[in-house]
Homo-oligomer: A and B are copies of this chain.
Amino acid sequence: MNKIPAAILGATGIVGQRFIQLLQAHPWFEISVLCGSPRSVGMTYREACNWVLEGDPPDAILDQIIQPITPDLPARLVFSALPARIALEAEPKLAEAGYVVSSNASAYRQDPDVPMIIPEVNGEHIKMVEWQAERRGWKGLMVTSPNCTTTCAVMPLKPLDQAFSVSSVFATSIQAVSGAGYPGLSFLDMADNLVPYIPGEEEKLESESLLLMGHLSGKERIPGKFKVSAQANRGPIQHGHTVCLSVKFEEKPSPEAAVEVLRNYRGPEMAWDLPSAPQRSIIVRDEPDRPQPRRDRDAQNGMVATVGRVRPCPIFDLRLVSVIHNAIRGAAGGSILNAELLVAGGYLS
């Protein structure tokens, strides 16, 4: 098939760079236009971008001119790495104008007409775009991917919920610096330090988890009924978020039963064969000192959640630790996977 032309909004930022990196050799999508802020518009990508990822930016895009966000982008698909307040206005306009928008921004994640999706967790929520079309009257559509830390927690929680019914979750994160964008945090603030606060992060983890683990009923998304208490910390780590979880279930599992569920979990069948999907969405490590962000963030191209230390909890039922690559599975990679799901579901061609 011909590749689907894709725009990247916020192309010079750190998530935009990941989109470029991950779409370089994508089998279904190809980058057709790079959009940036007024400050960058008219510059070449080479001039406008301070590339901070490993390796160099692909030659093919270095001389592309950064474009403004307009409703006549030469694209069918739009990947958005916009800041929330810009996304708030720009994304619906593009959906209205007929584009398929796969956003990593937080602006519409909680909107009752916009699916927020991790394909292996709640791929079936993709159906929300059907009532989205009706209610919004958009010619295009919009899907979102969740917050990176939420993704890190929910990828293992979902299979456990399916098997044993989650009722309460304590989640304490230690998050990498790249989650704050570039230039983001100062070396002088983060080196040899830990900052026990990330604005808005705990609220996202506490609310987005319920939506992701909710179900559709009629034309409504019913959130999960469990409770989450989150504490978010920023640590001196470049990439890779860690979440320490204590979980209470309706039906208490043994650690062995939980590990078996995690290892065997495959998620909705519609997500099995997507090109960016990992073989399994979860890797369980047996070593007592894993997962570790530096050693596990790149497993399966950064698209997997690595889980370990599955053990009993003296207060709740189980404790475990999850690590993901915040900028791949937790951001650009997640949005690309969502666009692939749209193709597989027949919503994008």
Chain A interface residue number, banded: 35 or more
Would B229 and A246 count as touching, CB distance under 8 A? yes
For A186, the closest partner residue in chain B by CB is B183
What residues of chain B lie closer than 8 Å to A54, measured between beta carbons?
294-295, 298
Could you tell me the distance between the alpha carbons of A187 and B181 in the complex, rounded to whole angstroms? 11
- Asked if A189 is an interface residue, CB under 8 A from chain B, the answer is yes
Q: Are A188's CB and B184's CB within 8 A?
A: yes
A242 to chain B: which residues have CB within 8 Å?
194, 196, 233
Interface centre among A174, A188, A228, A298 (most CB of B within 10 A): A188
- CA–CA, A319 to B288, complex, Å? 28
On whether the beta carbons of B194 and A292 are closer than 8 Å, the reply is yes
Using Cβ atoms and an 8 Å threshold, which residues of chain B touch A315? 168, 170, 227-229
A293 to B52, CA, bound (A): 13
Determine if A91 is an interface residue (Cβ-Cβ < 8 Å): no
Of residues 169 to 226 in A, which have CB atoms within 8 Å of B's CB atoms?
170, 172, 174, 177-178, 182-197, 199, 206
Measured between beta carbons, the chain B residues less than 8 angstroms from A233 are: 174, 242, 244
Chain A 290-329 interface mask (CB, 8 Å, partner B; 1/0): 1111110011000000001100011110010100000000
| A177-B188, A235-B236, A315-B168 known; A194-B229 Cβ under 8 A | no
The residue that A177 contacts in the complex, of B184, B191, B240, with Cβ under 8 A, is B191
- CB contacts (< 8 Å) of A288 on chain B: these are 197, 199
Query: In the complex this chain forms, how many copies of it are found?
Result: 4
Complex interface: chain B residues within 8 A of A197 (CB): 288-289, 309
A64 an interface residue at 8 Å Cβ cutoff?
Answer: no
Known A187-B184, A196-B309, A242-B194; contact A174-B231, beta-carbon cutoff 8 A? no
Q: Is the CB of B192 within 8 A of A186?
A: no
- Complex interface: chain B residues within 8 A of A188 (CB): 14, 52, 177-178, 182-185, 238
Complex Cα distance, B233 from A235, in Å, reads: 12
Contact B189 A231 (CB under 8 A): no
Contact call A237/B238, Cβ cutoff below 8 A: no
List of B residues within 8 angstroms of A290 by Cβ: 196
Report the bound CA distance from A289 to B191 in whole Å.
15
Residues in B neighbouring A182, C-beta threshold 8 A: 186, 188
- How far is A195 from B237 in the complex, measured between Cα atoms in Å? 12
Nearest 5 interchain pairs by C-beta: A183-B186, A172-B172, A193-B294, A197-B289, A229-B315
Further pairs besides A54-B295, A191-B238, A235-B235: 18, Cβ < 8 Å: A14-B188, A52-B188, A52-B189, A170-B170, A177-B187, A177-B191, A183-B183, A191-B191, A191-B236, A192-B192, A192-B237, A192-B238, A196-B291, A196-B292, A229-B316, A233-B244, A235-B237, A236-B237
12 contacts between A and B (CB under 8 A): A14-B188, A182-B188, A185-B187, A185-B188, A187-B236, A188-B238, A192-B192, A193-B237, A194-B237, A196-B309, A196-B321, A231-B319
